[in-house]
Amino acid sequence: MKASRNISLFVAAICLMAATGGIFETTCNNYYATTFHMTAQQRGMLELPREFPGFMVAALTGALFFLAEAHLAVLAAAAVGLGLFGLAVFAQQPHQYVSMLVFLVIWSAGAHVMMPVRASLALALAERSREGEKLGKLASVSSVAVVAGAAIVWLTFGVLGWSFSAVFLAGMALVLLAAGLFVVLGRTMPPVHHGPRPKLVFKRRYSLFYLLSVLFGARKQVFITFGPWVLIQLFNQPPQTFAKLWIITHVLIVLLLPQIGRAVDRLGERTVLMADAVMLLAVCLAYGFGGDVLPRRAAFYLACGAYVTDQFLFPVQMARNTYLSKIAETRRDISGALGLSVSIDHAVSIPIAMAGGWLWTRFGHQYVFAGAACIAALTFIAASFVRPGPPEHPALVESPEEAYEDARREAF
């Protein structure tokens, strides 16, 4: 009974976090462009402070080793709430750029600490079989919450005419409810690990997993940063457009991701990751060159299709993590390798965003997505070397960056 209650508390808290992610992620790029009038190069530079907490996530969680995972989740959720409060109250004018940076970093620190903590809690609470299928179903549940968050944006911006400040405060309210649920969970759930948390794992055995993490970090940042920028800068789209596209995306996730999870189990990680790379290449071509060969209206719809496809592909990275679960020497290695993968992909994503902004400003957006196409090709080649054997330590492993990261991207 206690286990069932803990799972319910955990899922409810994750859903509230996912709804908050849906609110912030569908509005943040318009917020940057409208409030601070950013260029593409400035938007790329913004990723340095925004993603730096992701690079330092292992150090942040290590410094708080004395907290149980549920208590650390409380702290992470509170940081997200504080960040949203600061953005809503102290960063709504162009001259408040420094305040925006400070509270954005606080939000980012909370969101990134939540990622490996969420994975550890899921690992402790979930069943130990049919990992791909189970992960797909759990991601679908979270996607319903993301749809709710995006629907709030659609309603508040498109119908009620709310400001960015009001919408951010609504997100803060949801994340504080999640923090309360984590408090209750922490009273009944024992720590996942006794003593210090698993250290980062540096082993040749996991080198291909880390290479895939490098490529994912590069791919992730191009599309998180510059995919929405295409719709904002080239097609002048408001927040409610992104809300609608997120709703479409996550309805598809709810309907199809369990089947993709089964495909991981039946076809294998290699096939799924290679198919992901091929689809990513098509997204690059649509974003980068659709406007050069199609009328404006058709190019806009193609860009919307690319946005939805790209967002849908993020949770497919579950295959990268089920691959890790099958090659891990010990279950303890999984948490350490996941933590290192988060730091790796953020170390890569920061310079990629900065370089992408420079390319966009200097040469045009086509060159950004031509570079992303090269990343997709390299991902295809790397994925072709994936050869997992039977799982030595079956485990449900959640992607540390799944569905956006976290969300972005909030896929559980």
Beta strands in 59-169 (DSSP E): none
pTM across the whole model: 0.81
Average pLDDT over residues 48-63: 74
**Could you give the CA distance from residue 90 to residue 402 in angstroms, rounded to a whole number?**
30
- On whether the CB atoms of residues 238 and 295 are closer than 8 A, the answer is no
Q: Would the pLDDT of 128 be above 90?
A: no
DSSP conformation class of 95: G
What is the model's pLDDT at position 340? 79
Please give the average per-residue pLDDT across 387-398, as a whole number: 54
**pLDDT (0 to 100) of residue 127:** 55
130-169 tens-digit pLDDT: 545 555 566 667 778 888 888 999 888 878 889 999 999 9
Superfamily of domain 2-389+401-407, CATH level 4: MFS general substrate transporter like domains (1.20.1250.20)
Instruction: Give me the residues paired with residue 404 across strands.
Output: 409
Instruction: Determine which of 124-133, 259-268, 341-350 has the lowest per-residue pLDDT on average.
Output: 124-133
Asked if residue 354 lies in contact with residue 42, where contact means CB atoms within 8 angstroms, the answer is no
Nearest to 377 by CA among 266, 280, 249, 270: 280
- Asked if the model's pLDDT at residue 203 lies above 90, the reply is no
3-class secondary structure, 403: strand
Better-scored residue on pLDDT, 101 or 339: 101
Residue whose C-alpha is closest to residue 77's, from 6, 127, 19: 19
What is the rounded distance in angstroms from the CA atom of residue 157 to the CA atom of residue 155? Answer: 6
Average pLDDT over residues 300-313: 93
Does the pLDDT value for residue 407 go beyond 80? no
CB-based contacts of 54, cutoff 8 Å, min separation 6: 108, 112, 342, 343, 345, 346, 349
- The Cβ of residue 314 has, within 10 Å, a number of other Cβ atoms equal to 28
In the chain, where the domains are located: 2-389+401-407
What's the mean per-residue pLDDT of the chain?
Answer: 83
- Least confident segment among 90-94, 121-125, 194-198: 194-198
- Residues 236 and 375 sit within 8 Å (Cβ to Cβ): no
pLDDT at residue number 119: 67
Residue 401 in this model has a pLDDT that exceeds 50: no
Packing angle of the helix pair 40-55, 28-36 (nearest 10 deg) = 130
Does residue 345 register a pLDDT over 60?
yes
pLDDT at 65 over 70: no
**Nearest CA-CA partner of 157 in 148, 170, 167:** 167
